[in-house]
Amino acid sequence: MSVVRTHTFAVDDADLPEFLHRRAALIAAIRADHPGLAEARLTRMEDGTYTYAWRWDSFAQMAAAFPAAGSPAAVATMSLTSGAAAVNGEIVDER
């Protein structure tokens, strides 16, 4: 069953282009080393914060990629954010 790790955070408008550049490189690096990343969706919410959903084919594949969260690329990307929080969830129904 697919799982999702969702992050919420803020990014200063001035930092957004650099954040998007770093995010693209981070996703490419994680996909190269960790199969199972099906989707990495970034959504700007109406309050100006962002939701970042990483969808994995399985919990095992997501867990195997957790060490990448401490990689220099991940740290550099998230250094442009504030108020970050993350939660995991299992997809129960999708249409």
* Containing structural domain, residue 55: 3-90
Indicate whether 56 belongs to any domain.
Answer: yes
Measure the CA–CA gap between 11 and 48, rounded to whole angstroms.
9
Specify the CATH number for the domain of residue 85. Answer: 3.30.70.100
Number of domains in the chain: 1
> Other C-beta atoms within 10 Å of 49: how many?
15
Alpha helices (runs of H) in 1-95, residue ranges in sequence order = 16-33, 59-65, 72-78
Indicate whether 51 belongs to any domain.
Answer: yes
What are 17-44's pLDDT values in tens digits? 999 999 999 999 999 999 899 999 999 9
Indicate whether 95 belongs to any domain.
Answer: no
What are 40-86's pLDDT values in tens digits? 999 999 999 999 999 999 999 999 998 888 899 999 999 999 999 99
pTM over 0.85: yes
